[in-house]
Amino acid sequence: MSTLMSGARMLAECLAREGVDCMFGYPGGVTLPFYDVLYDHHIRHVLVRHEENAAFAAEGYSRATGRVGVCCATSGPGATNLITGLVDALMDSIPIVAITGQVTSKLIGSDAFQEADTFGITRPCTKHNYLVKKLEDLPQIIHEAFYIAATGRPGPVLVDVTKDVLQAQGHYQPIASIHLPGYKVFTEGHTGQIRRAAQLIQESERPLIYSGGGIIASNASAELREFVQLTDAPAVTTLMGLGSIPSGHPNFISMPGMHGSYAANMALSNADLLIALGVRFDDRVTGRLAAFAPHAKVIHVDIDPAEVGKIRTPEVPIVGDVKRVLVKLTKLLAETPAEPDAKRSAARRAWWHQIRAWKDEHPYDTPTSDTEIKPQHLMAEIDRLSGGNAIITSDVGQHQMWAAQLCRFNEPRLWINSGGLGSMGFGLPSAVGAQFACPDKLVFSLCGDGGFQMSIPELATIAGNALPIKIIVMNNGHLGMVRQWQTLFYNDRLSAVQLDAFPDAEKLAAAYGFKGRTVDKPSELAAALEEAVKEPGPYLLNVKVTPFECVYPMVPAGGALDEMVLGPPQPVTVPVGQASRPVPGS
Partner 1 sequence: MLQIISLLLENKTGALMRVTGLLAQRGYNIESLTVARTLDPELSRMTIVVDVDSLQRGQVIKQMNKLINVLQANDLTEGPTVVRELVLLRIRTPQESRTAVLKEAEIFGGRVVDSSVEGFAIEVTGDPEKLGEFVDVMSAYGEVEVARSGALAIALDAKKLRLQPPVSTVGQGHAMPLQK
Comparing CA positions, the residue from 577, 562, 555, 574 lying closest to residue 206 is 577
Query: Shortest Cβ distance from residue 131 to partner 1 (Å)?
Result: 7
Query: Shortest Cβ distance from residue 291 to partner 1 (Å)?
Result: 19
Site string for partner 1, 53-72 (x = CB under 8 A): --------------xx----
Which contacts qualify for 376-380: CB closer than 8 Å, 24 or more apart?
Answer: 376/402, 376/406, 376/549, 377/522, 377/525, 378/402, 378/472, 378/474, 378/525, 378/543, 378/545, 379/403, 379/405, 379/406, 379/407, 380/406
Choosing from 26, 34, 35, 119, the residue that interacts with partner 1 (CB under 8 A) is 119
User: Which of positions 446-475 make contact with partner 1 (CB under 8 A)?
Assistant: none
Q: Which helix (H) or strand (E) holds 34?
A: helix 32-38
Backbone φ and ψ for 161, nearest 5 degrees, come out as: -120, 125
- At residue 285, the 3 state secondary structure works out as helix
Residue 571 within binding range of partner 1, rule CB under 8 A: no
Residue 150 within binding range of partner 1, rule CB under 8 A: yes
Residue 250 within binding range of partner 1, rule CB under 8 A: no
Backbone φ and ψ for 550, nearest 5 degrees, come out as: -115, 150
**163 assigned to active site:** yes
Comparing CA positions, the residue from 410, 419, 417 lying closest to residue 447 is 417
Residue 44 vs 384, nearer CB to partner 1: 44
Choosing from 40, 181, 340, 507, the residue that interacts with partner 1 (CB under 8 A) is 181
Residue 120 within binding range of partner 1, rule CB under 8 A: yes
Backbone φ and ψ for 187, nearest 5 degrees, come out as: -115, -35
**114 assigned to active site:** yes
Distance CA 258, CA 205 (A): 26
**458 assigned to active site:** no
Alpha helix positions (H), 122-162: 138-150
- At residue 473, the 3 state secondary structure works out as strand
Distance CA 227, CA 301 (A): 14
Residue 527 within binding range of partner 1, rule CB under 8 A: no
Residue 306 within binding range of partner 1, rule CB under 8 A: yes
Query: Shortest Cβ distance from residue 197 to partner 1 (Å)?
Result: 20
Query: Shortest Cβ distance from residue 156 to partner 1 (Å)?
Result: 13
Question: Judged by CB under 8 A, which stretch of 39-47, 303-311, 344-352, 500-508 contacts partner 1?
Answer: 303-311
Query: Shortest Cβ distance from residue 174 to partner 1 (Å)?
Result: 8
Beta-carbon-side half-sphere exposure of residue 391 (alpha carbons within 13 Å): 30
**127 assigned to active site:** no
Residue 322 vs 572, nearer CB to partner 1: 322
Choosing from 77, 294, 305, 571, the residue that interacts with partner 1 (CB under 8 A) is 305
**186 assigned to active site:** no
Peptide bond between residue 568 and the one before it cis (omega within 30 degrees of 0): no
User: Which of positions 88-117 make contact with partner 1 (CB under 8 A)?
Assistant: 95
Choosing from 7, 11, 15, 18, the residue that interacts with partner 1 (CB under 8 A) is 18
Residue 438 within binding range of partner 1, rule CB under 8 A: no
Distance CA 195, CA 38 (A): 53
Please tell me the count of residues contacting partner 1 according to CB under 8 A.
38
Residue 148 within binding range of partner 1, rule CB under 8 A: yes
List contacts with partner 1 (CB under 8 A): 17-19, 67-68, 95, 119-120, 123-124, 127-129, 131, 143-144, 146-151, 175-185, 304-306, 309-310
Query: Which residues carry out catalysis?
Result: 51, 113-114, 163, 481
